[in-house]
Amino acid sequence: MSVQYTPVIWNRNKIFYDAVLLIAVALYLYIYIRVAPGYEDVTKPIDGAILRMRAFGSCAFLMLTVILCIGPLARLDRRFLPLLYNRRHFGVMTAGIAAVHANYVLTWYYNFSPTDKYVALLSSNTNYGQVLGFPFETLGIAALLILFVLAATSHDFWLSFLGAPIWKALHMFIYAAYACVVLHVALGALQGAGDPIFTSVVAASVVLVSGLHFATGRMEARRDRGEETAKASLQEKGWLVAGELDEIDDDCAKVVTLSDDERVAIFKYDGKLSAITNACAHQNGPLGEGKVLWGCITCPWHGYQYNLSDGRAPAPFTEKISTYKLKLIGSTILLDPNALPPGTHVDPVEIGEAA
C-alpha cells in the first residue's frame, strides 16, 4: 500500500451519501418528536427528554437494521452496491446517535441520584436472574461499547494494521451488538405498556435481518453448487482447470503446460481473458512473457505481434498462431486443451463481476 493516510477521504459521492443520511436522520428525529406524542396515552404524557431518548434510541436501532441489511442486499442485487460503498460513515453516525440516546438516559434518570450517575446506572438494578425487570440497560451498554469500538476502528489504518482476518473478526461483532440491542429493547421498552407500532417495527427488523441473511446464504450455496457441477461437466469433456483468476496480473499471462512441446498462454487484459499458444510463429519465442498492448501481444524476442482474440498478426503481416477456448466458472479458469487452427477467432471471456 503506497497511499498516504488522511483523516477522512471525502469525495463528491460520499458527501452526497452523508448528506442524504444526515437529512434522513434529522427528518426521522423531527417527525418522531413531533408525531409520537399524538399516539401517547393522554393520561401518562411523557416528558420531552424521555421522548428524545426514545427518538434517538429507535433511530439508532433502525440504522443498525439498515446497516445489517445492506450487505446481503448488495449480494442479492448489485443495484444496492452504492449503499455498501460508504457504510463506514453510516456506522460511525449510528454509534453517535446511540451515544446521544444513552446520554439522555444518564442525564434524565440518574442525574439527581446521590451517587455518581455511572455507578447508579450499573447498580440500580442487578436482577440478572429474571426476565421481567431484567437490567436491560446492561445490554444497551454492551451494544454501545461494541459500536464505539467498531466506529473507532473504521479508519483504513486499522484494516491494514490489524490485518484483514483480525479486522473482519472484530467487525463481525456488529451482529453481537444487534442481538444485544434487540434484547435491550425486548426486555426493556417492550415489557412496559406495549406500544404496538414499536413492537412490530422491532419484529419486522429481526425478520428482515435474519431473512435476508438466510436468503443470501442459500443463494450463495446454490451458486457454489452450480459452479461445481458446471466445472465437473466441463472437466468430463476434457477441459482442464488452468488456474484461478487472481493468479494472473493485468496485461500478463499464465502459461499452462499441456505436453513437452505444447504450452498455452492465458492472458488477462482489458477485463477479458484469451488463450493462445505460448510459441511465437517466428522462432518459438515465449509469448506468455510478453506484455499486452491494445489487445495485442508483442513477442519478447523479436517483437512479432498478434491479436489475442484470433492469433493473427495485425495487417500487413500474415503470421497466424493457434488459439484456445476458455471458460470462466466463478473465479476458476478452464481451458479446452484442443488447439484451434491458427488464426481462429475466439471471443475473449469477459471477466465481469468475478474480477
Partner 1 sequence: MQSAALLLELGRWYLMAGGVVAAAFLVFGIDRVEPSARGSYAFRPLLIPGICLIWPLVLYRWFTLEKHGEDAR
Q: If phi over 0 gives left and psi between -120 and 50 gives alpha, with beta otherwise, what is residue 282?
A: alpha
The CB-based long-range contact list for 106-114 (8 Å cut-off, 24+ gap) reads 107/49, 108/47, 108/49, 108/50, 108/53
In angstroms, the CA 263 to CA 280 distance is 11
Q: Give the range of 145-153, 184-192, 243-251, 294-302 binding partner 1 by CB under 8 A.
A: 145-153
Q: Is 304 in the site for ligand FES (CB under 6 A)?
A: yes
Q: How far is the CB of 276 from ligand FES (least distance, A)?
A: 12
Q: Which partner from the list ligand HEM, ligand FES, partner 1, none does 115 bind, CB cut-off 5 to 8 Å by kind?
A: partner 1
- The helix (run of H) or strand (run of E) holding residue 63 is helix 48-76
163 binds, among ligand HEM, ligand FES, partner 1, none (CB under 5 to 8 A by kind): partner 1
* Residue 105 binding: pick among ligand FES, partner 1, ligand HEM, none (C-beta 5-8 Å cut-off by kind): ligand HEM
Of 309, 345, 353, 310, residue with least CA distance to 328: 353
Residue 304 binds what, of ligand FES, ligand HEM, partner 1, none (CB under 5 to 8 Å, by partner type)? ligand FES
Query: Count of alpha carbons within 13 Å of 338, Cβ hemisphere only?
Result: 4
**Is residue 344 within 8 Å of residue 323, measured between CB atoms?**
yes
Collapse the DSSP code of 265 into the 3-class scheme (helix H, G, I; strand E, B; otherwise coil) and give the result.
strand
Q: Which does 263 bind (CB under 5 to 8 A by kind): ligand HEM, partner 1, ligand FES, none?
A: none
Stretch that binds ligand FES, among 7-15, 49-57, 89-97, 300-308 (CB under 6 A): 300-308
Q: How far is the CB of 57 from partner 1 (least distance, A)?
A: 22
Measuring CA to CA, how many Å separate 349 from each of 108, 324, 333, 355? 64, 11, 10, 12
Contact set for ligand HEM, span 175-194 (CB under 6 A): 181, 184-185, 188-189, 192
Residues near ligand FES (CB under 6 A), total: 9
Q: Which x/- pattern over 131-170 shows residues binding ligand FES (rule: CB under 6 A)?
A: ----------------------------------------
- Applying CB under 6 A, which of residues 72, 137, 151, 288 lies at the interface with ligand HEM? 137
The beta-carbon contacts of 284-288 under 8 Å, at least 24 apart in sequence, are: 286/255, 287/253, 287/321, 288/253, 288/254, 288/255, 288/263
* Closest among 279, 143, 6 to 290, alpha carbons compared: 279
Q: Taking CB under 6 A as the rule, does residue 291 contact ligand FES?
A: no
- Asked if 119 touches partner 1 (CB under 8 A), the answer is yes
**The one among 74, 256, 275, 299 contacting ligand FES by CB under 6 A:** 299
Task: Give min distance, CB of 336 to ligand FES, in A.
Answer: 24
At a CB cut-off of 8 Å and minimum separation 6, what does 99 contact?
144, 148
Interface residue with partner 1, options 116, 220, 246, 350 (CB under 8 A):
116
The one among 19, 22, 31, 152 contacting partner 1 by CB under 8 A? 152
Indicate the Cα dihedral angle 93, 98, 100, 102, nearest 10°.
-160
Choose the one of ligand HEM, ligand FES, partner 1, none that binds residue 312, judging by a C-beta under 5 to 8 angstroms depending on kind.
Answer: none
| Residue 88 contacts residue 20 (beta carbons within 8 Å) | no
Supply 331's cell numbers: 473465479
